[in-house]
Amino acid sequence: MALIRYILYFLGIALFTWMLTTLEIASPGSLKLLVYAGDGDTLGTSEYSPVELIQVGILFICGLLYAWVAANCPSQRPIAFAFGGMALIFFIRELDYFLDLFIADNFWQVLLGIVLSVLIAYVYRHRRRFRVAWLRLWPSPGMTLLFAGATIIFAFVPLIGHEPLWMSILGNDYHRVVKLAVEEFIELSAYFLWLIGTIEYAYQAKAIALQEPQTVAAKRRAGRLPKSKGRF
């Protein structure tokens, strides 16, 4: 079963990448990696790109999976809440341009601060349950892929996507669209890893939940034990 899943992961990523590259080759500019939002916009943005939309969609799916784990695997709830919070942070970060444009400048940073504060407070309050849940997971393929994806997003992309780097590499041939294209495709690969890691984590959390002993009340609800006899 695991082998089939990983083959499907490979085919899915290959298909999405093929579709994006074929779209741009067949119709140059279709990926909208450099769009000028108005007359006063001199830098341009890639926020309207289908690549960005796929990234947001991946994060939304990850959030749903973490919500499912939190609802159906109680022992893994602290981990699911923590990683769900990270997915929400990524989600807000991807929408920063539109939050600044349509709500208020730097509003996305305020949201990040609120989410991060709640996340830290929750993990600290449930640190013992978090530690127990973590020890049951690590090491595992899902956690490894989640770590790899987060490392690329937080450590690799900010450095590789640094504009002065590309100005230094390309010199007089520098075009901002090159920097944006490299940055967005690297981010997309990281989110693919994050999605696969989330799916694998959900599988593992389900397996852990099935191995855990059920309470007497849960067994009675499932019809596994007869109801206790009472005076009434």
pLDDT of 17 higher than 90: yes
Residue 225, pLDDT score: 45
Burial class (CB in 10 A: 0-12, 13-18, 19+), 229: exposed
Percent of the chain's residues with pLDDT above 90: 55
Q: Using alpha carbons, list the distances in angstroms from residue 122 to 64, 83, 143.
A: 19, 12, 20
Rounded to 5 degrees, what are φ and ψ at 150? -65, -35
Residue 101, pLDDT score: 83
Helix 50-72 × helix 2-26 angle, to 10°: 160
- The span from the CA of 165 to the CA of 1, in Å, is 44
Q: Using alpha carbons, list the distances in angstroms from residue 51 to 13, 37, 58, 180, 228.
A: 13, 17, 11, 11, 58
What is the pTM (predicted TM-score) of this model?
A: 0.84
pLDDT of 183 higher than 50: yes
